[in-house]
């Protein structure tokens, strides 16, 4: 060691001079050479062009017009493209529903189109256990053959009714009708829809007005808006339209023409931004509506002409069997004095009186129903009570009021060719008991279907077809439908997305997304005039997907027999075009829109609309390019002819309920009939809107709190996946990492010793979820508010396992008469985590 080291230093010493020269010279030389400077510069340039930072391809910019179908609002959107690549979604200004603006979900739509992680690349077959998300690719041919074989087999066994379809497409759309038709043609009566506020509304309207048209309000021309929990600025109706109206209402603070009152137990955005916020106890809204009616009647603020000339059951009435019944007026005056209503709702009597007077003294007051976004059904009696308020003011079929209209004049297809198997199948009773004497006015009851599946040892359903719906996620009662799905032998998903329900499917026949296909929008939710729109693909399909309509037509042909004969079209577009002919034949209607003359503006005075096309071909061409047909005029008044109730008038007391009850009780006795229909009231109240306590009544001692779910405009809570960009808009007291929050009044929280951010369990008889506490003064004491849309078991890291799904604990029970789930009043308790 010693030697070596010495040698080293000697060597240095020997070459010392040279070494220093080399060192110094080298350093100076390198420094003055361009090398280090060039390298420094190059490295900086490299950081500006890192190869892993994408450089988006540039191209020719263009816009493609279409319509958004992520919700039933149907806003016009234009998609900005470079060459053929969509890069942004914006609102259309040449479309009457939403002049320019859109909602956050619509703005984030491209992330639904483009996200590889949540889309099926093509038809697939399950290989892993259910829910594992393990699938293998198969060809369209194989997939369709496999399904057709199964369906044909069931038909051969005489069990076509074991085929069930769940359809989330908006009612009346061509795809929805094709699903319905397919089921009928194979011979199954079990067509199920996901219930929405529109279902309750059309039922309530059917009972009060006899009208089967869609939900329609002339909001822009109203001067007093009484919203029973509608999230007017939180996605209710057609968000683009209602938010635009909101802007119009507030455009001149000096001359506000509209007063907005929000009825809701939570300081939602709508409640806060409204002129007045009324917070009754959850589930007592009906009592409030009737309390208002009481004051309006008592003080004579109602429309005498309408009530005397065009109403039935306002005063005491006589039924077909000759019995005398108390009328709406007497019952309301007897039972819903402000003091009584104050006791039920927790409001001050003076507030009820002043609100009733404000409503009663307005020129065009309109009371609205459908909680939150309106994606969930409501309670039938409540909707009827609200419609009665509108009727008291005679604001039915009036400018600025409720619009009663015929359904949009689309052609109907020829009847299906039911073969003998189908005929026999269709005669079998529905599994969900809808449309029976027990639930005479309800089209389908998916909550009853899951009960039917779960209560039997063997699932009566063999094959479940799911279209544009996510029932494993969106239905209440602790995921009862998900549990039911686990017992169904064979599930087919037609979803383009790896949603919670698709992950449980055995076969995937993926649809295009809304930006890749043509489909129709039939009367956007709540719009005052008929509007029919077509989407136009803004890009060719990105994956090996097929239009559900085409898939169904092919499938029907493969099944053969009646189904094949019932689907004479070669593709979806043919079937669509056949329906559109009706629009042309109805005469009138526009296919273009001029922003400077908003459709709502002339609506009160316009009586007809000349068509802006010459022939069907011309109209079809214009419809396909602009995506739009609408008829912005209405035949107002005509109270003599508009009501199609048995009495021919607006029915404050429903003779249809009376008839139904008579028929049912004729088989048993009245008490049993009432119980079957879920009505707790007795006597004449049964026929008129009345308040009764919710269907589920756990002891308050065990479950001292009430849980109310609510919806957010910036969080998808239905079938559509939530675009990741929307996560940016959620506050961190709504979602923090993987925890969602319950809104709770600080006063209530302190009773449990809870602080902001604490983790708790909320438990109902249906289940238990874990959430964090968000102290919110705007939450009614004693009530827990949970947002809907969290807690997916599917999709990718942007959504999976983020937050808790309130549906896991909603204890819905059944709404009287309609049988639909009741979402708004689950009794719960808090457990500390």
Partner 1 sequence: MMKEEKGKYKYGMVIDLDKCSGCGTCMVACASENNVSVRADESDKERSITWMQLFKITNGKPFPDTEVSYFPRPCMHCHHHTPCVSVCPATATRIDYNTGIVSQIYTRCIGCRYCQAACPYHARYFNWWDGYGLAKPFSKGLERALSPEVSVRMRGVVEKCSFCHHRLMSAKSKAYAEGRREIREDEYIPACAEACPTQAITFGDLNNPRHKVSQLIKSPRAFRLLERLGTEPKVYYLSSKSWVRKMADNYLPNQFQQVTKAMT
Partner 2 sequence: MDSPLISEDVKRCSAWKFFFWSLPWLALLAYGGVSAFLCLFMGLNQTNMSNIFAFALWIVFDLSVIALGAGAFFTGFLTYIIGRTELKDIINAAVIVGFICYSGAVAMLGIDLGQPLRAWFIFWHANVHSMLTEVSFCITAYLGVLTIEYLPLILENRKASEVRDFRLFGHNLHHIMAVFAATGTFLSFFHQGSLGGMFGVLFARPFASRWEFYIWPTTFFLFILSSVAAGPSFTILCSKLAELFTRKKLVPDNVVQLLAKISGWLLAVYMVLKIADTLAWVYGIVPKAGLTFMDFYRQGPYGVWLVGAEIIVFGIIPAIILLTPKARQSSGLLILGCLMNCAGIVLNRFIFVVVTLAIPVMPFDRFWSYLPTWQEWGVALTIIGYGFLLFSASYRYLPVFPKEKELNPAIYS
Residues 583-622 that bind partner 2 (CB under 8 A): none
Least Å from the CB of residue 745 to partner 1: 6
Report the nearest approach of partner 2 to the CB of residue 51 (Å).
15
CB of 356 to partner 1, least distance (A): 18
CB of 665 to partner 1, least distance (A): 43
| Residue 615 backbone phi and psi in degrees, to 5 | -140, 175
Helix (H) / strand (E) containing 339: helix 338-345
Which one, of 359, 368, 364, 70, lies nearest residue 201 by Cα?
A: 368
Q: How far is the CB of 564 from partner 1 (least distance, A)?
A: 38
Q: How far is the CB of 282 from partner 1 (least distance, A)?
A: 13
Footprint (CB under 8 A) of partner 1, residues 485-514: none
Of 233 and 422, which has the nearer Cβ to partner 1? 233
Minimum CB–partner distance for residue 749 and partner 1 (Å): 12
In this structure, how many other beta carbons lie within 10 angstroms of the beta carbon of residue 419? 21
Site string (318-347) toward partner 1, x via CB under 8 A: ------------------------------
Per-residue exposure over 528-548, b if at least 16 CB sit within 10 Å of its own CB, e if not: bbbbbbbbbbbbebbeebbbb
User: Would you give the DSSP letter of residue 62?
Assistant: E
Partner whose footprint covers residue 20, from partner 1, partner 2, none (CB < 5 to 8 Å by kind):
partner 2
Residue 46: contacted member of partner 1, partner 2, none (CB under 5 to 8 Å, by partner type): partner 2
User: Which residues in 45-74 contact partner 2 (CB under 8 A)?
Assistant: 46-47
349 is a site residue for partner 1 (CB under 8 A) = no
* Under rule CB under 8 A, residue 22 binds partner 2: no
Partner from partner 1, partner 2, none binding residue 108, C-beta < 5-8 Å depending on class: partner 1
Q: Which one, 48 or 701, has the nearer CB to partner 2?
A: 48
Quick one: 19 or 61, whose CB is closer to partner 2? 19
Integer CA distances (angstroms), 788 to 17, 291, 441, in order = 81, 30, 28
- Angle separating helix axes 480-487 and 446-455, nearest 10 degrees: 50
Tokens of 253: 């603070």
For residue 16, the partner it binds in partner 2, partner 1, none, with Cβ less than 5 to 8 A by kind, is partner 2
Strands across the sheet containing 76-82: 61-67, 76-82, 85-91
232 vs 653 by CB, closer to partner 1: 232
Instruction: Show the tokens assigned to 65.
Output: 């017009």
| Residue 9 touches which member of partner 2, partner 1, none, C-beta under 5-8 Å by kind | partner 2
DSSP for residue 160: G
Alpha helices in 560-654 (DSSP H): 561-566, 572-586, 616-626, 639-642
**Which position among 7, 13, 597, 777 is part of the footprint of partner 2 (CB under 8 A)?**
13
Which residue in the set 1, 3, 4, 58 belongs to the binding site for partner 1 (CB under 8 A)?
A: 58
Among 44, 53, 136, 255, binds partner 2 (CB under 8 A): 44
Using DSSP, state whether 334 is helix, strand or coil: helix
Helix (H) or strand (E) holding 749: helix 746-751
Cross-strand bridge partners of residue 740 = 735
Q: Where are the beta strands (DSSP E) in 597-659?
A: 628-630, 650-651
Q: Which of residues 179-218 bind partner 2 (CB under 8 A)?
A: none
Is 435 exposed, middle or buried (CB count within 10 Å of its CB: 0-12, 13-18, 19+)?
Answer: middle
Count of CB atoms situated within 10 Å of the CB of 735: 19
From 3, 4, 43, 699, residue interacting with partner 2 (rule: CB under 8 A)? 43
Q: Which is nearer to partner 1, 248 or 558 (CB)?
A: 248
**Nearest distance, CB of residue 47 and partner 2, angstroms:** 5
- Asked whether 721 and 795 are in contact (CB, 8 A), the reply is yes
**Do 716 and 105 touch, CB atoms closer than 8 A?**
yes
The tokens for 257 are 């023409």
Stretch that binds partner 1, among 111-119, 123-131, 527-535, 556-564 (CB under 8 A): 111-119
Q: Which does 627 bind (CB under 5 to 8 A by kind): partner 1, partner 2, none?
A: none
Query: What are 125's strand-pairing partners?
Result: 136, 507
1 binds, among partner 1, partner 2, none (CB under 5 to 8 A by kind): partner 2
Q: Which is nearer to partner 2, 5 or 737 (CB)?
A: 5
Q: Which stretch binds partner 1 (CB under 8 A): 51-59, 283-291, 556-564, 679-687?
A: 51-59
Tokens 């005669």 sit at which residue? 427
**Residue 645 touches which of partner 1, partner 2, none (CB < 5 to 8 A by kind)?**
none
Helix spans in 267-379 (H) = 269-273, 285-298, 304-310, 328-335, 338-345, 349-360
User: How many other CB atoms are found less than 10 A from the CB of residue 211?
Assistant: 22
* 42-50, 157-165, 193-201, 267-275 -> range binding partner 2 (CB under 8 A): 42-50
CB 76 within 8 A of CB 97: yes
Q: How far is the CB of 20 from partner 2 (least distance, A)?
A: 6
Distance, CA of 479 to CA of 272 (rounded, Å): 33
Q: Which residues of 640-663 are buried (b: 16+ CB within 10 A; e: fewer)?
A: eebbebebebbbbbbbbbbebbee
Q: Footprint of partner 2 on this chain (CB under 8 A)?
A: 1, 5, 9, 13, 16, 20, 40, 43-44, 46-47
């Amino acid at each position: 060691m010693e030697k070596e080291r010495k040698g080293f230093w000697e060597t240095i010493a020997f070459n010392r001079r040279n070494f220093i020269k080399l060192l110094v010279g080298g350093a100076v030389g390198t420094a003055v050479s361009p090398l280090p400077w060039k390298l420094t510069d190059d490295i900086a340039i490299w950081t500006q062009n890192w190869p892993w930072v994408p450089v988006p391809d540039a191209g020719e910019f263009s816009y493609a017009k279409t319509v958004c179908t992520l919700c039933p609002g149907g806003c016009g959107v234009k998609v900005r493209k470079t060459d053929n690549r969509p890069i942004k979604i914006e609102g259309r200004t040449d479309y009457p529903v939403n002049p320019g603006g859109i909602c956050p979900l619509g703005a984030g739509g491209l992330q639904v189109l483009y996200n590889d992680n949540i889309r099926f690349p093509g038809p697939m077959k399950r290989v892993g256990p259910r829910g594992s998300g393990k699938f293998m690719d198969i060809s369209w041919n194989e997939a369709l053959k496999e399904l057709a074989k199964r369906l044909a087999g069931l038909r051969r066994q005489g069990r076509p009714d074991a085929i069930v379809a769940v359809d989330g497409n908006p009612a009346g759309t061509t795809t929805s009708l094709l699903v319905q038709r397919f089921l009928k043609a194979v011979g199954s009566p079990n067509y199920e829809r996901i219930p929405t506020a529109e279902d309750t509304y059309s039922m309530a309207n059917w009972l009060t007005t006899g009208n089967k048209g869609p939900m329609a309000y002339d909001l822009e021309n109203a001067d007093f808006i009484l919203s029973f929990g509608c999230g007017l600025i939180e996605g209710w109706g057609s968000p683009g339209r209602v938010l635009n109206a909101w802007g119009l209402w507030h455009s001149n603070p000096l001359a506000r023409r509209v007063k907005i009152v929000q009825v809701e137990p939570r300081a939602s955005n709508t409640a806060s931004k409204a002129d007045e916020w009324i917070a009754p106890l959850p589930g007592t809204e009906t009592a409030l509506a009737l309390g208002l009616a009481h004051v309006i009647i008592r003080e004579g603020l109602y429309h005498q002409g309408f009530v005397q000339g065009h109403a039935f059951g306002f005063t005491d009435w006589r039924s077909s069997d000759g019995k005398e019944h108390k009328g709406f007026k007497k019952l309301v005056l007897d039972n819903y004095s402000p003091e009584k209503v104050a006791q039920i709702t927790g409001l001050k009597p003076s507030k009820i009186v002043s609100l009733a007077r404000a409503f009663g003294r307005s020129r065009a007051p309109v009371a609205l129903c459908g909680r939150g976004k309106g994606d969930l059904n409501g309670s039938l009696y409540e909707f009827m009570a609200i419609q009665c308020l509108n009727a008291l003011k005679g604001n039915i079929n009036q400018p600025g009021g409720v619009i009663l209209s015929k359904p949009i004049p689309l052609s109907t297809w020829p009847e299906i060719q039911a073969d003998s198997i189908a005929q026999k199948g269709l005669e079998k009773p529905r599994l969900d008991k809808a449309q029976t004497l027990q639930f005479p006015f309800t089209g389908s009851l998916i909550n009853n279907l899951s009960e039917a599946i779960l209560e039997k040892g063997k699932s009566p359903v063999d094959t479940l077809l799911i279209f544009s719906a996510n029932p494993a996620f969106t239905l209440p009662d602790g995921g009862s439908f998900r549990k039911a799905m686990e017992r169904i032998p064979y599930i087919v998903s037609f979803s383009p997305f790896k949603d919670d329900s698709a992950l449980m499917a055995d076969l995937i026949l993926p649809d295009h997304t809304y930006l890749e296909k043509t489909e129709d929008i039939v009367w956007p939710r709540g719009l005052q005039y008929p509007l029919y729109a077509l989407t136009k693909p803004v890009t060719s399909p990105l994956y090996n997907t097929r239009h559900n309509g085409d898939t169904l037509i092919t499938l029907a042909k493969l099944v053969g027999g009646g189904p094949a004969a019932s689907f004479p079209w070669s593709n979806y577009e043919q079937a669509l075009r056949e329906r559109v002919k009706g629009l042309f034949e109805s005469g009138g209607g526009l296919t273009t829109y001029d922003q400077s003359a908003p459709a709502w503006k002339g609506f009160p005075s316009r009586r007809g609309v000349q068509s802006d096309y010459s022939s069907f071909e011309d109209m079809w061409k214009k419809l396909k390019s602009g995506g739009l047909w609408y008829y912005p005029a209405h035949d107002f008044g005509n109270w003599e002819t508009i009501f199609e109730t048995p009495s021919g008038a607006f029915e404050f007391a429903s003779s249809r309920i009376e008839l139904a009850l008579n028929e049912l009780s004729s088989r048993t006795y009245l008490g049993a009939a009432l119980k079957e229909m879920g009505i707790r009231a007795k006597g004449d109240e049964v026929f008129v809107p009345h308040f009764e306590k919710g269907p589920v009544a756990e002891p308050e001692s065990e479950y001292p709190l009430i849980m109310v779910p609510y919806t957010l405009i910036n969080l998808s809570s239905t079938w559509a996946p939530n675009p990741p960009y929307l996560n940016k808009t959620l506050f961190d007291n709504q979602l923090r990492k993987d925890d969602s929050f319950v809104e709770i009044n600080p006063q209530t929280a302190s009773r449990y010793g809870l602080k902001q951010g604490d983790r708790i369990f909320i438990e109902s008889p249906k289940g238990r979820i874990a959430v964090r506490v968000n102290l919110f003064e705007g939450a009614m004491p004693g009530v827990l508010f949970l947002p809907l849309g969290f807690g997916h078991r599917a999709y990718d890291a942007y959504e999976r396992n983020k937050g808790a799904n309130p549906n896991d604990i909603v204890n819905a029970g059944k709404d009287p008469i309609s049988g639909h789930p009741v979402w708004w009043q689950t009794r719960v308790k808090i457990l500390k985590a």
